[in-house]
Structure 1
Amino acid sequence: MAEHGPLCVGIDPHPGLLSAWGLPDDATGVRAFAMTVVEALGGRVAALKPQSAFFERHGSAGIAVLEEVLAAARGAGSTQVVLDAKRGDIGSTMAGYADAYLGEHAPLACDALTVSPYLGFGSLGPAVEAAARTGRGLFVLALTSNPEGPEVQHAVLPAGHAAGGSAVARTIARAAGELNAAETARTGAALGSVGLVVGATIGTAADELEMALDQVGGPFLAPGVGAQGAGAAEIAQVFGGARHGVLASTSRAVLGAGPDARSLLDAARRAADEVAAAVR
């Protein structure tokens, strides 16, 4: 982030973008699309974020392309790779996901993985342990920008629960903060490796839920920048004093400039400059 600015560019080869780029909606089109983005932006933006669903929809051929894209992106200098897979399960199944995406020599390994805590934050234990063991990170869904999110994320836990009276999202933020505090005390790092996904378009929700984002002690992945309407004012409103840890995620605002590599890079640099101004 210090070198390239706090921008994460999604690699989202959905049918509409494939068509706009003149590519077929199959694994070959997905590969051409994704590798163009990696070649244009790898080593030039803080992070790239392949969306696993758009590769999975093409079956085994699509997963093979995702493996190739992750390897190419990991080899692209100082750019980090966030895999947007939103995995979440319990026990041995969560351990399997952790092995798949966070293992040292896993074909689908990434620098950070998005995960869902909605089977209970403790269910993420295998992923937390794997990330700590291999030096990788997590972005835990907390306050997402989709309109259905609040029915779960804003729900208040019952009095009998250990965090009774707190909203679910606040409990997630507190659990992440505890892990990060222990990690940074041990390592001396400025931020821990357990980040949160907090949408840049959620307005005052974090304040209303008393989430204290400035106490999380980890990075924030903030989707919604660009085509979804969030800019400097929205980032400042949502994150306040925690905005220095924001990695703003955009897809369409940059990908729409393709397939020309120079146009992709110019769009990414404009977006990075806008976000950098917002988080100063």
Structure 2
Amino acid sequence: MERSGWLKCLADDYQRLRSVAATDLTAQVPSCPDWTAADLVRHVGAVYLHKATAIRQGDLPDPWPPAGLESEEPIALLDRAYGELTDQIARHGDNEPVWTWHEPDQTVRFWIRRMAQETVIHRIDAELALGAPVAPIPDDLAADGIDEVLKLFVGYGSHAWREKFEADLTSAKGRTVAVELDGGPAWLVRTDPDGVTVTGPSSTTSSADATASGYPATVLRWLWARESAPTADAQSPVRVDGDEEALAELRRLLATATQ
């Protein structure tokens, strides 16, 4: 995906998040158990403002957060923050330098992609909280999100912040999980004591200890633990097969990476 596709998805998912959450800001968010819908909206608004400031300044916002942020009404904050974010994106080219947490990519493009992916996951949170139908996720956005969460959050994160993943990596034995899209590409995730290596996307993967496969949107939701409202009999639409320890290891790594 590129700028126009990300920005279209960002706009659509911001509007969906806003409209769903506004119906009941007191609703509990099952995928983020400590949050209400108001907390969710406030979080997204604060993230937007943080990234808008980073793009405007070209550097990590400091000090943060600005005074008065917590007292602003959630929907008003979300609207203001979205406006500031999109305004700053419009003023800057993809390759302009800016601080990001991903050392290899210090560009505005990183934040455009990240905000599109941030928003689709959190609009699913709002839909789960309100019991609303989960709107479709375009295949290209879902595949891009799969690539991001595996390569950046798990792969890069497990090396850049080794201490955060220490407990997950201590028992690593070089197990591999293939994450495969129906009719599409696949990624191979290998976990070793010194970190996680992610290769792909490719048309095939080498022999893996386990596989997780499905349509792009369902795989993305599975990786982010947003596959359904948590109930005793909920069944994931993602098909899993092979070494259960390898699959459990990947889920632990994902939980650590996305907290």
TM-score by length of 1: 0.31
TM-score by length of 2: 0.33
